[in-house]
């Protein structure tokens, strides 16, 4: 891939002298969905698929962007003086947003750059191609200009750019999982405090399989912000009886005692998902620590039911992928992953069942939905790097 992107960079920008090649992974969240903005725990891992970038400093203030994933758009030009969101070339808002966010944090980028990207994360899949581009851009800026920021800072700057430049109210999980990725490990992250620990994911004779629904979704125009505000409203109502800063501070018992304060059945269900999912995530990580992969799988299944029934973010595509997965012998657990409303599912599948899983789930999906899903057998990889 390094040679491919360098060759393309030379083709697009004239030559590749002085250019460097970088990589930032995508991520998948094994369990702990829609808990990150509710002060709960998440359990994501970085993947070995992600975004490749070739970058070179310029002598002037111009920014030139090119994506091999959107070749029809050609080279998109901008400048450090013109860092505003673009409607025409939406993907450029991720690198531009990070450059803008560095400036907002007192680290003005002193010169322009040429940047070529090529991602092998399925676009719109919910495996965080956008956060991958954000972390990659931050990593490049640190490498180019010597900014004094840690990988954790890169995650926070990426989130800041998405919240304030892109105006998408995302939590910290995606950028954190990508910036802090560690091969063979998932990250047990408390999103309220950013305390984290690496947990080895030892799947003997089993693999992580991602099924991409190929239903595209946009976070900003989905119901993501609506769900977030429903949880915020429920939290305000619960505070009539409980002194908590976030839903993540409640366990199931405390929630059941106080839920009568919540003024609508819909908000009860939203808050119940956030509370129960957080507790499920804690128990799932404990199960993995005991090598109880079967219990981890059962908790994944429970997570999907809660996202379907209480949080209502699945939809027919994701439900079909998961419900068909549950019918296949050798599937340890399966659930939607990411924000929902399209995107992907993540399943733990025994090695001997992988081919059957892909064939049966794929056939049933095509028959019911009318188009194909794509399947990826993935491995857990490291965070961003220079290649």
- Amino acid 88: pLDDT: 75
178 compared with 88, residue with greater pLDDT: 178
127 compared with 213, residue with greater pLDDT: 213
With 50 as the cut, is the pLDDT of residue 50 above it? yes
Contact 200, 184 (CB under 8 A): yes
Q: How many CA atoms lie within 13 A of 22 on its CB side?
A: 27
Of 69-73, 133-137, 175-179, the one with minimum mean pLDDT is 69-73
Span 298-303, average pLDDT = 98
Confidence of residue 340 (pLDDT cuts 50, 70, 90): confident
End-to-end CA distance of the chain: 10
- Amino acid 123: pLDDT: 67
Residue with tokens 């899903």: 373
- Amino acid 121: pLDDT: 84
Percent over 90 (pLDDT), the chain: 86
Q: Rounded to an integer, what distance in angstroms lies between the CA atom of residue 214 and that of residue 240?
A: 43
Report whether CATH 3.30.230.10 matches the domain 2-201. Answer: yes
- Amino acid 342: pLDDT: 86
Residue with tokens 């851009």: 137
Span 4-15, average pLDDT = 96
Instruction: Name the nearest CA neighbour of 300 among 46, 39, 30, 28.
Output: 30
- Amino acid 11: pLDDT: 97
pLDDT tens digit string along 227-242? 999 999 999 999 999 9
With 60 as the cut, is the pLDDT of residue 219 above it? no
150 compared with 170, residue with greater pLDDT: 150
With 80 as the cut, is the pLDDT of residue 326 above it? yes
Instruction: Name the nearest CA neighbour of 264 among 240, 234, 293, 243.
Output: 234
Q: Which residues are catalytic?
A: 174
Q: Rounded to an integer, what distance in angstroms lies between the CA atom of residue 39 and that of residue 378?
A: 28
């Amino acid at each position: 891939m390094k040679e491919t992107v360098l060759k393309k960079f030379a083709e697009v920008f004239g030559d590749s002298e002085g250019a460097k090649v970088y990589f930032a992974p995508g991520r998948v969240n094994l369990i702990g969905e829609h808990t990150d903005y509710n002060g709960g725990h998440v359990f994501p891992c970085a993947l070995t698929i992600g975004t490749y970038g070739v970058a070179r400093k310029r002598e002037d203030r111009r920014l030139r962007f090119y994506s091999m994933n959107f070749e029809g758009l050609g080279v998109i030009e901008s400048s450090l003086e013109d860092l505003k969101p673009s409607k025409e070339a939406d993907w450029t808002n991720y690198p531009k947003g990070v450059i803008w966010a560095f400036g907002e944090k007192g680290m003005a980028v002193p010169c322009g750059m040429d940047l070529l990207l090529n991602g092998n994360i399925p676009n719109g899949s919910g495996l965080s191609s956008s956060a991958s581009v954000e972390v990659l851009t931050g990593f490049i800026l640190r490498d180019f200009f010597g900014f004094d920021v840690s990988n954790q800072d890169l995650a926070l700057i990426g989130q800041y750019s998405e919240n304030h430049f892109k105006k998408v109210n995302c939590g910290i999980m995606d950028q954190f999982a990508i910036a802090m990725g560690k091969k063979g490990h998932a990250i047990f992250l408390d999103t309220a405090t950013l305390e984290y620990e690496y947990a080895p994911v030892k799947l003997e004779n089993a693999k992580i399989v991602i099924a991409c629904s190929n239903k595209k979704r946009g976070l900003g125009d989905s119901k993501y912000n609506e769900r977030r505000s429903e949880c915020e409203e429920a939290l305000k109502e619960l505070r009539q009886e409980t002194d908590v800063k976030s839903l993540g501070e409640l366990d199931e018992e405390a929630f059941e005692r106080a839920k009568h304060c919540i003024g609508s059945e819909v908000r009860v269900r939203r808050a119940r998902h956030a509370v129960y999912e957080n507790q499920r995530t804690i128990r799932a990580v404990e199960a993995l620590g005991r090598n109880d992969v079967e219990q981890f799988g059962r908790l994944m299944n429970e997570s999907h039911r809660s996202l379907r029934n209480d949080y209502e973010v699945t939809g027919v595509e994701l439900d079909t992928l998961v419900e068909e997965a549950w019918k296949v012998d050798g599937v340890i657990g399966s659930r939607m992953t990411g924000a929902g409303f399209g995107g992907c599912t993540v399943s733990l599948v025994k090695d001997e069942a992988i081919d059957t899983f892909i064939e049966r789930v794929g056939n049933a999906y095509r028959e019911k939905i009318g188009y194909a899903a794509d399947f990826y057998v993935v491995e857990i990889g490291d965070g961003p790097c220079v290649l």
